[in-house]
Amino acid sequence: MISFPNGKINLGLQVTGIRTDGYHQIETIFYPIGLKEIIEIIPSENFQFTVSGLQIEGTAGENLCARAYHILKNDFPSLPAIHLWLHKRIPMGAGLGGGSADGAFTLQLLNDNFQLNLSTNQLIGYASQLGSDCPFFILNKPCYATGRGELLNPIELDLSGYCFVIVYPNVHISTGWAFSQLNPMPPSKKIIEIIRQPIEAWKKELKNDFEEPVTNKYPELSKIKEQLYEAGALYASISGSGSAFYGIFKKGLLPPISFSNAYETFIV
């Protein structure tokens, strides 16, 4: 059985405070995009995990796909051994949610393939054990997210008339470092209010708090956003805690754009 985990972008991201449990309180809009990876389940006598495509740091046991399997195995001992294969395509440390999507989609794949009969809310509960962004990929639709990012409210937001140019500058941003650079404070205007405005108005008000510290450390990255706007993007921003930037263009109006050969560019 095969699944195709997709990435996401953040439309705005504000870090509004620090919780009593030490996690940061955030406010953002998660929006799914068509940049996809591949996960396949293959029968096996013993649990195996294989990765192709982009190289992944850390041990196999630390990967969210493997962790998803073992979390379910703990509660469903009859879950059979499998060979779990991941073809990695979404860059890591880019703010595009590839790893979170892999973990969430693995939960869904196991649930569907082995008839575990878990509800959406139960899957969200398991996904929250994997990471703050993982519950979003269970719903996988535009959501206004608060809390650690796990409190999700689906919203009506249709950007199907636009395309996304995503630029990954091959810089890995540590999420822990990125949060350490911020001084959390309540926003002057909530993202959910800003997003209801026409997309042409987002440029002035829709901000990502991580953009400033990331571009301060890597000044050359600010040029990516400038190039996206020069090419006609209606809105451009960093995604998540970085380092990928994206531009939103009207479909059919995307001019040729040339970035540094050291960067990876995706159009979805």
Verify whether residue 75 is a known catalytic residue: no
Strand partners for 17: 25
Of 21, 36, 75, 133, catalytic: 133
Give the tokens for residue 68: 């998803």
Q: Tokens 């636009």, residue?
A: 162
Positive or negative, the CA dihedral 68, 74, 79, 80 is: positive
Q: What's the distance, CA 132 to chain centroid?
A: 10
Verify whether residue 209 is a known catalytic residue: no
Helix axes 98-113, 120-130, angle to 10 degrees: 140
- Strand (E) or helix (H) holding 9: strand 6-18
CA dist 135 → 57, 140, 251, 260 (Å): 23, 9, 30, 34
Give the tokens for residue 191: 């993202």
Residues designated catalytic: 8, 133
